[in-house]
Amino acid sequence: MDNNNLYKWLYIPPNVYVQEGEKATFLLYDTQTGEFMISTDIELCNVVKEVYIPENLGVIKYEQENIKTNDFKKAVEKSLIKTMPIKNEKIKPVNFLPILNLQNDFSKYDNSDEAPHLRKNVTRFLSGLNIYLSYSKDFSISEEKDFRNIVSKQVLLPPLGDSEQYIELNEINTVLLQVAHSSVKKIDIIPGNTYFKKVNQRDFINLLSIFDFEYHIHLHINDFLVLIQDFNQTTQNFLFTIYIDKFSSEENINKITSLNFENIFQIQCLITCEEEFVFFQKIPVIYQNKDKINFFPVWTNKNIDFFEKNILLSIEDLSKNPVSMHEIFRNRKLNANFFGILSVLPDKSVYAHGGKIILGNIINTPLAELVYKELKLNTSWRKTRDLTPCKKCFFCYLCPPVSIYETIFNKYKSCNMENAYSFE
């Protein structure tokens, strides 16, 4: 018998992600179909490792009769491992396996100061800026105040506080002059409900119009209806995200339609339970603007049942909605929810978006220094799931990046899988 009939070329398709665990356990996940399997088969594990030896170029010669174990057969049936006939043993195929290769990787340096090239033009890593202009206060209903306090930590609404501090126009000008030399194209503006009692709104609009940015202004619906008269249709670079919640009156919500205001970018419905979701859908203006509506679940520390049922991922979600190899590799090195974004508070302190540590002061600390400090300290930008209790789960990098509510409330949970897929 021809020796080539006994052997085949064996390879792992480039679309299959391999996650190795402990004690000869590993995950094979098809990033195109969502098919996956977790195996403890030692023979299969050894084959996977052999395929990844650089000298083998992603392909090995394997005897067909050795494909005996159930897991091995299952991997072949699911196309997580493939074989092909050997037509000419001297002409070995090459299989380009996906390999993460970063030229600028802070994590590989014990001391990031040893990598001076990463400091060069460091503002290129900056992609967004959140500017909180002032605090919000004067809520007559204590329940609403408590709700807004917890919400402001999760979405771009102004923080609550009795402080009179705010960012003045000349300080905004100083900030924007620095940002103009970065990669930032869009700036998110979050004014408190008292800001335009201290700053002339028309002067504010004129100042921002000098710079070639797109501005997203975030307002609660009550504040939006008060301020909107000065933002006319000629200010095309001003887009608005309007927030509504269970305290918003249906009358105010319906006023949005009567304004005929085209610069509304998005309406965020903040919901804490299924009943609120049903309520908002019944409001006519919500239905009429459904292409701009986004239902945003808010964590309250009291609605875990709502989150577990509607928000947290299940293993079925990862199968039905395949995660691309690009997303997986990205999730291994950075947090796509936070990376590149800085937040400036009314007291001029600067945080990385999603972070809790002050990086500096926007007025007396150069923007480049703030960016470099976050890249060194990693308060949020590179907060990946392997730095959380999720680190021993096979799906650690397949789940979405660590979210804002997880970091703020120190509750690291994005799925319902618990420890079912841990490789401990």
- Helix %, strand %, coil % for the chain, to 5? 35, 20, 45
* Contact of 180 with 206, CB cutoff 8 Å: no
As a three-state string, the secondary structure of 272-293 is: CCHHHHHHHHCCHHHHHCCCCE
Do β-strands 36-39 and 26-30 pair in parallel, antiparallel, or remain unpaired?
antiparallel
Q: Which CATH superfamily is domain 122-311+340-381 in?
A: Aldolase class I (3.20.20.70)
Model pTM above 0.85: yes
Distance CA 348, CA 367 (A): 12
Question: Tens place of pLDDT for every residue, the chain, 424 residues?
Answer: 455 568 899 999 999 999 988 777 899 999 999 999 999 999 899 999 999 999 999 999 998 777 788 999 999 999 999 999 998 888 999 999 998 876 666 666 556 565 555 667 889 999 999 999 998 876 667 888 888 888 999 999 988 777 889 999 999 999 999 999 899 999 999 998 889 889 998 899 999 999 999 999 999 988 888 777 666 555 668 888 989 999 888 888 888 766 666 677 788 999 999 999 998 888 887 877 777 788 999 988 888 888 878 888 888 888 899 999 999 999 999 999 999 999 999 999 999 999 999 999 999 999 999 999 999 999 999 999 999 988 888 999 999 999 998 888 888 877 877 655 555 5
Distance between terminal CA atoms of the chain? Answer: 45
Write out the two tokens for 269.
Answer: 């419905």
Give the residue extent of every domain in the chain.
3-85, 122-311+340-381
Chain centre to alpha carbon of residue 170? 32
